[in-house]
Structure 1
């Protein structure tokens, strides 16, 4: 197997990872409850209450669709568990030459990228490439806010708190999203101001939100316009984030399907998998 094959597969993995990197959202809404908030609950208070609900999340299942700077249009579906840490995602990059969805799995301290039939032809019939995060030294940052050592997905619950950093949150109206009655809120978040406001938060909350902010500031985004749809149980059912990055526009919508339900992710068969760490070791020895 040629080392160039590794490079080709890594390019496919990187494209999917970058698309996944910008995913954000909140706690998925349940199917019960009306969309109208209490008359005494202001838009800012409603958003803060939904952000508080993120602390109870143990798992998420969601769909995403939109445009990623430098990557183009993407769509996909993902499920993730915080404890134990696991994730499964299928992503389609509509503006890239691929032979179908790219699948990403995180199992223990290993991340797997499935490239489909095209990858199998390039890798002697093996359609998966394994990134052993421990062997590659990336597992030190492996937590719910930096899945895959920062290469795949962020914890979607954290991004849902961003709207609390807006000084102009307003109620747009009531809408039905995925069969659930919700209240639609909207606001603009200047990222520098939001980061400064985090100094008043406790250490754990501050560090979690600062890590989530980093991915956007590194993209060159100064401010985010955010729409959030909150259900009658004060959960975020859907969100949309828009901004202007160095490499183009960001416009991502995430709709949550369920939360706090079991998520089981299994590793692909060993016979279908190429171990990147082993490949790199063999290349060095060769």
Structure 2
């Protein structure tokens, strides 16, 4: 699942996000390098042809995980958009990522947490935040940055870790997502067997994980619906503008965290 866009308090599944302990919300200002919003809504072709479900045996899972992992090859930039609802709270995340250096990606993300709006710019090892520590831009320490937001789209590790939870894999046919040709897969998982939900989650029954992979195996869209347990969670992630030019710049004015 777009396994982490961890925000100040991590979480689970598709993007690992949970609650957030932060100061009172500050008014958002215009960022100096505002990420371009993705205008392309995921388009769906009419009535895709479904193929029979495959038992989630080792080979079926391994093939799917390998396909997802290989899909990351050659990805240098992208636009990420995520929406999440949990316990009556709606959150959205959106921004551009320059992943030419995958170990230190440059990114500009905006996060609407309902009662608070936060922006974060990361360039190499330098990170700047606005909205979390006040209304202006603040250059934060690596420790603070590491606990806040990182966009990571490698789902192969999460899939492999939760391999035992897979019950079946279905190919639901081809669809267009954000202008890209994709194949729609539906994975059915055992909620109780998901390793990163925690023993107190109380989740049980089947969980649907829908993934749209393009011809290279890159996951262009994913929807995770955990509708059981103590904290039902639904996430949708959309990846667009893959390998299109993107420029991430530091804010023109900022203070340094003391």
Alpha-carbon distance between aligned partners in 2 of 1:227 and 1:65, rounded to the nearest angstrom: 15
Question: How far apart, in 2, do the equivalents of 1:61 and 1:19 lie?
Answer: 21
Deviation at 1:60, TM superposition (A): 3.1
State the shift of 1:128 in Å.
Answer: 1.6
Q: In 2 relative to 1, CA 48–241 (structure 1 residues): closer, same or farther, beyond 3 Å?
A: same
Alignment match, 2:115: 97
**1:135-150 equivalent positions in 2, closer than 5 A:** 138=143, 148-150=145-147
2:81 corresponds to 1:63:
yes
Distance across 1 between alignment mates of 2:179 and 2:214: 11
Residue 139 of structure 2 corresponds to 130
Residues 34-49 of structure 1: matches in 2 within 5 Å?
Answer: 44=61, 47-49=64-66
Residues 218 and 151 of structure 1, relative CA distance in 2, 3 Å threshold: farther
The residue number in structure 2 matching 1:254 is 237
Map 1:68-83 → 2, pairs under 5 A: 69=86, 72-80=89-97, 81=99, 82-83=102-103
Runs of at least 5 residues in structure 2 that lack an aligned partner in the other structure = 1-5, 17-44
- Number of positions where the alignment pairs a residue of Structure 1 with one of Structure 2: 209
Question: Structure 1: which 5+ residue stretches go unaligned?
Answer: 1-14, 26-33, 121-126, 140-147, 196-212, 279-286
Q: 1:237 to 1:262 in 2, by over 3 A?
A: same
- After superposition, what is the alpha-carbon deviation per residue over 1:26-56, rounded to whole angstroms, capped at 9, x for unaligned? xxxxxxxx998999x9975763343132452
TM-score normalized by the length of structure 2: 0.61
More helix by share: 1
Does residue 274 in structure 1 map to residue 255 in structure 2? yes
CA offset at residue 168 of structure 1? Answer: 0.9
Q: Distance in 1 between matches of 2:178 and 2:171?
A: 19
Deviation track 1:75-112 (CA, whole Å, cap 9, x = no partner) reads 2312222254322101222xx334xx421111232322
Tell me by how many angstroms 1:62 deviates.
1.6
The 2-side partners of 1:226 and 1:115 are apart by 33
Report which of the two structures shows the higher radius of gyration computed on alpha carbons: 1
- Secondary structure class of the residue paired with 1:169: strand
Structure-to-structure mapping, 1:1-286, within 5 angstroms: 17-18=8-9, 24=15, 44=61, 47-56=64-73, 57-67=75-85, 69=86, 72-80=89-97, 81=99, 82-93=102-113, 96-98=114-116, 101-115=117-131, 119-120=134-135, 127-133=136-142, 138=143, 148-158=145-155, 162=159, 165=163, 166-190=166-190, 213=196, 216-217=197-198, 220=201, 225-243=208-226, 248-261=231-244, 263-270=246-253, 273-276=254-257, 278=258
Q: Hey, what's the Cα distance between the residues in 2 that align with 1:269 and 1:85?
A: 20
Instruction: Judge conservation of contact 2:140–2:256 (CA < 8 Å) in 1.
Output: yes
- Partners of 1:160 and 1:37 in 2: CA distance: 27
